[in-house]
Amino acid sequence: MIGSRGSSLSFGDYGLKSLERGWLSENQIESGRRTITHFTKRGGKIWIRVFPDKPVTSKGAGVGMGAGKGDVKGYVAVITPGKMIFEIAGVPLEVGREALSRAAHKLSVKTRFVTRG
């Protein structure tokens, strides 16, 4: 099922849309952003449409059962099918396609390149 909120291009000319469910860590999102920025040589404008607001906890390796919940180890963004992850504008089609393709390699969910129109 494809969600309706956040599933269309709202700001940019090209976007990266998820095809499956999953979590994106804060590190994956930042790595994708840096890849796009580097490839476009800081040209154009980038929008990050997801935010890691879900805390993920884990307990230490030697800790037994019980004794409460573990410490927060990081934050993730919950991704549903059809969710727009990145958008860019102000760059040619081929540059946008390659930049988003390289960013997609950094993410843990399958994605698709989409254009306005």
pTM reported for the whole predicted model: 0.90
Residues 66-103: tens digit of each pLDDT: 888 889 999 999 999 999 999 999 999 999 999 999 99
CA distance linking residue 31 with residue 22, whole number of Å: 17
Domains of the chain in sequence order: 14-56+72-115 (3.90.1170.10)
